[in-house]
């Protein structure tokens, strides 16, 4: 039995980065023999012999040797292994050069066809490592997989997981722009079809395409999963505007709310994220004219965001979308609203009590 530390752990050590999860490959053994040697190991793979032991993942591989195993990896910079017993480093012939030059290059096209999720995994790496160059071979492989109609194969949760990791990267917009560039939207991201050719709005307000604007906003919100997803969704409705109306996008917030919910549900994202995306799409237009809104509209918006726990990320979205300084104003209004209480003699009257409380809250917002 030979055990090798593989993939990201070896790569990050080479780059001088903190190690995250450790993944191991076990060769020259059987699943039963591995379980006898490590009785505490718990199988977690449904279709392959993958085990969890002390928080680390072990895959029992049938590869003839470690070199053969590395040939099945996605990117050359991940095709690395270190023998646990001897410390010997094994690497794809191109791996060390690509690590030094910060290049994302596929090991081979067949590996992406065998596991199409690797298309979205590669896009996630591009989002997390914006200083790395995407090699032309990787662009070609991604395009090939997209054209072959293979992108429906991965489970929704796995595709959604790559999106969530990208949202927490340095430049999440790079994920979206790369899958558009390579024709890898598939059914998962169908709402973005053609967004690179749709003007973001009249020239007086926007320059560039809906896609470019969205990627810029998402990049501004990098690191916050919720805020970045709200940025991803906020102008999604513009991708559904009839071409005859361009560059205007009348009522895009109404279209966008449904589109954001559909995409979030399709990717099996957590309900809190799906809700955040829908709220961003539907209500982001109010951020830029918040001070001019009627007090009742301000009240409805502030309470909706407060109940969803989205006041801060919504205001971050507003900042990234060109309306800075909203957070202190909205927090002050929320403080006024929450300080209002219903008099004892107005309680217990059903809808009438609710309406009376609402009027008191509106009065508080007006400074009365």
CATH fold for domain 102-188: Hydrophobic Seed Protein (1.10.110)
Alpha helices per DSSP H over the chain:
8-15, 31-37, 66-70, 95-101, 109-114, 117-128, 136-147, 156-167, 173-181, 210-220, 225-234, 252-266, 271-283, 295-308, 311-320, 326-338, 351-365
Phi, psi of 96 (to 5 degrees): -65, -40
Cβ pair 236, 281 in contact under 8 A: yes
Question: Using one digit for the tens of pLDDT, what is the confidence trace for 185-223?
Answer: 999 999 999 999 999 999 988 889 999 999 999 999 999
Q: Would you list the domain boundaries of the chain?
A: 1-100, 102-188, 190-334
pTM (predicted TM-score): 0.92
* Confidence at residue 343, expressed as pLDDT on a 0 to 100 scale: 87
* C-alpha closest to that of 23 among 97, 74, 94, 99: 74
CATH fold for domain 1-100: Beta Polymerase; domain 2 (3.30.460)
- The neighbouring-strand residues paired with 4 are 25, 83
Question: CA distances (Å), 218 to each of 81, 223, 225, 274, in order?
Answer: 35, 10, 10, 16
Alpha carbons 16 and 56: distance in angstroms, whole number:
20
* C-alpha closest to that of 218 among 286, 226, 364, 43: 226
Question: One fold for both 1-100 and 102-188?
Answer: no
* Confidence at residue 9, expressed as pLDDT on a 0 to 100 scale: 87
Phi, psi of 79 (to 5 degrees): -90, 65
Q: How far is CA 175 from the centre of its chain?
A: 8
Q: List the structure tokens of 113.
A: 């066809």
Alpha carbons 106 and 113: distance in angstroms, whole number:
12
Owner of token pair 């490590």? 38
Alpha carbons 122 and 172: distance in angstroms, whole number:
12
Question: CA distances (Å), 333 to each of 104, 245, 323, in order?
Answer: 48, 37, 17
Task: List the pLDDT tens digit at each of the 368 positions of the chain.
Answer: 999 999 888 999 888 887 777 899 999 999 999 999 999 999 887 778 899 998 889 999 989 999 999 999 999 999 999 999 999 999 999 999 999 999 999 999 999 999 999 999 999 999 999 999 999 999 999 999 999 999 999 999 999 999 999 999 999 999 999 999 999 999 999 999 999 999 999 998 888 999 999 999 999 999 999 999 999 999 999 999 999 999 999 999 999 999 999 999 999 999 999 999 999 999 999 999 999 999 999 999 999 999 999 999 999 999 999 999 999 999 999 999 999 998 887 788 889 888 999 999 999 999 85
* Confidence at residue 21, expressed as pLDDT on a 0 to 100 scale: 78
Helix (H, G, I), strand (E, B) or coil at 26: strand
Helix (H, G, I), strand (E, B) or coil at 129: coil
How many Cβ atoms are within 10 Å of 10's Cβ, its own excluded? 24
* Confidence at residue 368, expressed as pLDDT on a 0 to 100 scale: 58
Please enumerate, as own/partner, the contacts of 153-156 that have beta carbons within 8 Å and a separation of 24 or more.
153/116, 153/117, 154/115, 154/116, 154/117, 154/120, 156/188, 156/266, 156/267, 156/268
Alpha carbons 277 and 352: distance in angstroms, whole number:
33
Sheet holding 50-53, edge to edge: 42-43, 50-53, 56-60, 23-27, 2-6, 80-83, 89-91
* Confidence at residue 101, expressed as pLDDT on a 0 to 100 scale: 97
Phi, psi of 210 (to 5 degrees): -60, -40
């Amino acid at each position: 039995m030979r055990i090798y530390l593989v993939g990201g752990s070896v790569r990050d050590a080479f780059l001088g980065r903190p190690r995250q999860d450790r993944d191991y490959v076990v060769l020259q053994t059987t699943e039963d023999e591995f379980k006898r040697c490590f009785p505490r190991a718990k199988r977690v793979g449904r279709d392959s012999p993958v085990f969890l032991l002390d928080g680390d993942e072990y895959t029992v591989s049938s590869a003839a040797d470690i070199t053969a195993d590395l040939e099945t990896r996605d990117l050359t910079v991940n095709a690395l292994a270190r023998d646990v017993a001897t410390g010997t480093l094994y690497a794809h012939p191109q791996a060390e050069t690509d690590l030094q030059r910060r290049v994302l290059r596929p090991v081979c096209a067949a590996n992406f066809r065998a596991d199409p999720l690797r298309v979205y995994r590669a896009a996630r790496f591009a989002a997390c490592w914006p200083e790395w160059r995407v090699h032309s071979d990787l662009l070609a492989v991604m395009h090939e997989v997209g054209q072959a109609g293979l992108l429906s194969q991965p489970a929704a949760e796995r595709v959604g997981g790559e999106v969530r990791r990208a949202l927490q990267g340095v430049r999440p917009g790079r994920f979206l722009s790369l899958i558009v560039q390579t024709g890898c939207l598939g059914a998962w991201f169908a709402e973005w079809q053609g967004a690179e050719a749709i003007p973001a709005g009249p020239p007086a307000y926007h320059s560039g395409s809906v896609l470019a604007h969205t990627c810029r906003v998402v990049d501004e919100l990098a690191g916050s999963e919720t805020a970045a997803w709200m940025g991803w969704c906020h102008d999604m409705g513009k991708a559904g505007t009839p071409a005859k109306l361009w560059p205007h996008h009348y009522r895009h917030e109404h279209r966008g709310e449904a589109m954001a919910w559909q995409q979030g549900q399709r990717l099996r994202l957590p309900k809190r994220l799906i809700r955040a995306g829908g709220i961003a799409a539907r209500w982001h237009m109010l951020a830029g004219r918040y001070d001019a809104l009627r007090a009742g509209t301000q009240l409805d918006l502030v309470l909706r965001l407060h109940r969803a726990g989205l006041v801060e990320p919504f205001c971050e979205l507003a900042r990234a979308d060109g309306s800075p300084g909203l957070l202190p104003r909205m927090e002050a209004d929320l403080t006024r609203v929450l300080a209002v209480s219903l008099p004892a003699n107005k309680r217990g009257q059903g809808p009438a009590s609710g309406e009376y409380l609402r009027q008191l809250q509106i009065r508080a917002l007006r400074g009365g």
